[in-house]
Amino acid sequence: MNAKVKALLIKTRRRLFGQNVGNNISAFKGNGIDFAELKEYSYGDDVRKINWKVTAREQKPYINVFNEERELNIVIAFVLSGSIYFGSVRQKQEVMAEVLGLLAFSAVKNSDRVSTLFFDEAVERFFKPTKSPKTLSAAVEHAMNVEVLGKKADMQALASYLLNSVKNRSIVLLVGDFYDMPDLSYLGAKHETYAVIVRDPFEEAPQLYGEYDLLDPVTQRHTVMQIDTALTKEYRARLKAHDEALFEHFREHRIAYTKIYTDEDPFIKLREMLK
């Protein structure tokens, strides 16, 4: 394990296991007896949890949501792509590894089991459900060191894989840069799904002018391109439209999401999302 991985693990575990218990980002919910809240019924919810009084009053079904009192099934999917090999402040891959560590160790602190999946167009590596800090450390180390150049993310293949392989209702956390537009409607209906989008500020607002030799990190092809103000403006508009459609899809299918930039603290953004 290299020094950079060790430093990241120390930082991650210190944030979660330090003195300040109030900063714990664990907010996972499941099948307990401690009532938490009401929510509108969605496909895949347990019909046994329907609150019939509220359903009758509101004329649409609502279910009771409980705080978890037994271990949850948590799956973290780390989406591999050549595009995460980039960063003007920190590498996106490094920030994603920190996100993975924060989520995984938070779940263990909450006495839950965690599965970690690395996926590009198929399964690259899978860490079985565990509560072992040693295994989670190995998953974070793999996230930091796995070769991503030349890899292509296929979010639709990932969603299909999770639907078919994760049988029981689970908490599924997807970590990637989300340049592939997925259909997560079925996944969001079956599982409590979260999306963590990791981006670099420069790739959303590039300051470039002139001729550049660009390398596509997915295809690894070179392209010589003349970049001017009109081109960067068009690029920003297309990316904004992509993200607006992505966020609308998440909201429509009740998928909680957050966007973390490489110059931000992932801990704060994750805590806000999980609240």
* Full-model pTM: 0.80
What pLDDT digit, counting tens, does each position of 34-60 carry? 566 788 888 778 777 888 888 888 888
Output b/e per residue, 54-67; b: 16+ Cβ within 10 A. Answer: ebeeeeebbbebbe
**Average pLDDT, 10 consecutive residues per value, the chain (275 residues):** 68 60 47 66 80 86 70 89 93 95 87 92 94 91 95 95 91 94 92 95 90 89 91 93 96 95 92 83
Query: For residues 77 and 180, what is the distance between their CA atoms, to the nearest angstrom?
Result: 15
Helices (H), the chain: 3-17, 52-58, 92-109, 133-145, 155-165, 185-190, 201-204, 229-252, 266-274
Query: For residues 195 and 210, what is the distance between their CA atoms, to the nearest angstrom?
Result: 36
Concatenate the DSSP letters of all residues of 94-161 into one string: HHHHHHHHHHHHHHHHTT-EEEEEEESSSEEEEEEEE--HHHHHHHHHHHHHS--TT----HHHHHHH
Domain ranges of the chain: 3-25+72-274, 29-67
pLDDT of residue 93: 97
pLDDT of residue 35: 62
Domain 3-25+72-274 sits in CATH 3.10.450.750:
no
Token pair 């609150």 is found at 51
φ/ψ (deg, to 5) at 30: -165, -140
How many CA atoms are closer than 13 Å to the CA of 115, on its beta-carbon side?
Answer: 19
Nearest CA to 54 out of 45, 63, 66, 44 is that of 63
pLDDT of residue 15: 63
Contacts of 100 (CB under 8 A, 6+ apart): 76, 78, 116, 139, 140, 143, 175
What pLDDT digit, counting tens, does each position of 63-97 carry? 888 754 456 789 999 999 999 999 998 999 999 99
Q: Are 139 and 116 in contact (CB under 8 A)?
A: yes
pLDDT of residue 195: 96
pLDDT of residue 22: 42
pLDDT of residue 263: 94
